[in-house]
Amino acid sequence: MFVAPRPLIEDDPLFAVRLAIMPTIGFALGMVLQSPMAMLFPIMMFSLTAGNRKAFDLKRVLGAPIAFAAMLWLMSLPVALLYQTPLALITVMGGIYFFGFYMIQSTGNAMGMLFIVSAALMSVMGLGSFTAMSYLRSEMTKAALCVAIFAPIMYLLLPVKTKEFNVDVYVPSDEYGRVARSLIRAGVMLAFSLYLYTILDFGNVMLGIAGMFILVFSTQGQIWREVGQRSFSAALGGVLSFVVLGALTLSGHLVVLLGLTFLTVLWLAHKMMTGRLATMAYQDAASIMISLIGSALASSDPAFAFIQRAGLTVMGAVIAAAIVSLLDWHFVEKRRPATT
C-alpha cells in the first residue's frame, strides 16, 4: 500500500511546526466546544494533516477530512439498517473489508483503508449501541470539518518552500494470490473488529483501530516489520504521554497541556524528517501519545488507561500479524507455482 514519503526539510522547513500546532489547536477546540469526545479533535487534526507533503494542494488538504467524514456517514448506513440483526451486519462488514483490502492489493491506493477504517469504527460502535455510533459519527465529522478549516490557515501562515506538488506513486501487490490475501485479511479484520467490540469504549476506540494497519501489507517480512514499528510506536508514545501527564500533576493548567503537546509533537514531527526509523514510526507514536493523553485526562485512572491501550495495540498487532502470516504462507505462498 502507498505510504507517504519522508518529508524533506529543504521542501518544507516549517513542516514540524505546522504539524505540532494542529493537535494543540485540537485540544483547545475540544474543550471550547465542550465535546464529550474531546480527544478526537487533536487526534484527527494531527492524523489528517500528517500525510501532506511538498507544496500546498487545496484538493488534498480539504479532500482528506471531507472524504473521511463522508465515508463515515456512508458506512453508518448499513449499520443503521442492520444493527438489530448482528449476523447480517457482520456479513456486510466482511464484504466491505474484502472490497477495501482487494482495492489495496490490486491498486496500492490507500483509499481502500478509508473504507476499512470507517466501516470498522461504525460497526464496532454500532454493534454495542446505535446511539453510540451516531455520537461517534457526529463528533468525528465535527473534528474533520475543523481540519478542513484550520489546515489551509496553517499553510497560509506557515507556507511551504517548494512549489512542486507531491505525486503519489501506487504500487500494487504481487498479482498472484490477490483474492486469497484479501480474503485472509478481511477475515482477520472481521475477527479483530469483534474483539474490539468486546473491550472498547469511546475512550480507546481510535488507538485500538491502529492495530489493523498491519493487515494491508502483502509479504510476511513487511507484516513483521510493521509489528515492530507498531510496538515501538506504542512504547514511545506511552513514555511521552507519561512525561506530559506527570508534568500536569505538578501544574495542571491548560497552557501547560497545550505547551507540552506542542513541544512533544514538534520533536516527533522533526524526527519524521530526520529520524533513523521509518517516518510512520514517529507519526504513529505521536498519534498514540495524543490519544493516551486525551484518554487519560478523561479517565479516573491514567496508569490503567495507558496499560490497557498500549497493551491492546501491541497485542492486537502481534496476534493479527501471526494469523495473517500463517494463513498467507499456507494458502498463498505454499501453493505458488514454481518458476522456471
pLDDT averaged over the chain? 83
What's the rounded mean pLDDT across residues 258-265? 94
Predicted pLDDT at 213: 63
Cell of 263: 513541544
Per-residue burial over 19-36, b = 16 or more CB atoms within 10 Å of its CB, e = otherwise = bbbbbbbbbbbbeeeebe
Which residues does residue 54 pair with via DSSP β-bridges, in sequence order?
165
Confidence of residue 141 (pLDDT cuts 50, 70, 90): very high
Give yes or no for residue 298 having a pLDDT over 80.
Answer: no
Alpha helix segments (H runs only) across the chain: 15-32, 40-47, 58-82, 86-107, 111-128, 130-157, 178-199, 205-209, 220-250, 254-274, 279-297, 302-328
Whether 273 and 31 have beta carbons less than 8 Å apart is answered as no
Specify the higher pLDDT residue, 231 or 118: 118
Which residues does residue 165 pair with via DSSP β-bridges, in sequence order?
54
In angstroms, the Cα distances linking 110 to 11, 56, 91, 210 are 24, 20, 23, 15
Let me know how long the chain is: 340
Predicted pLDDT at 263: 96
Q: What percent of the chain has pLDDT over 90?
A: 29
End-to-end CA, the chain:
28
pTM over 0.75: yes
In angstroms, the Cα distances linking 199 to 27, 136, 144 are 25, 16, 26
Q: What is the CA radius of gyration of the chain?
A: 20
What's the rounded mean pLDDT across residues 298-316? 64
Give yes or no for residue 340 having a pLDDT over 60.
Answer: no
Give yes or no for residue 5 having a pLDDT over 90.
Answer: no
Predicted pLDDT at 203: 59
Question: From CA 274, how far away is CA 191, in angstroms rounded?
Answer: 37
Predicted pLDDT at 135: 86
pLDDT digit string, tens, across residues 106-128: 888 878 888 888 998 888 888 87
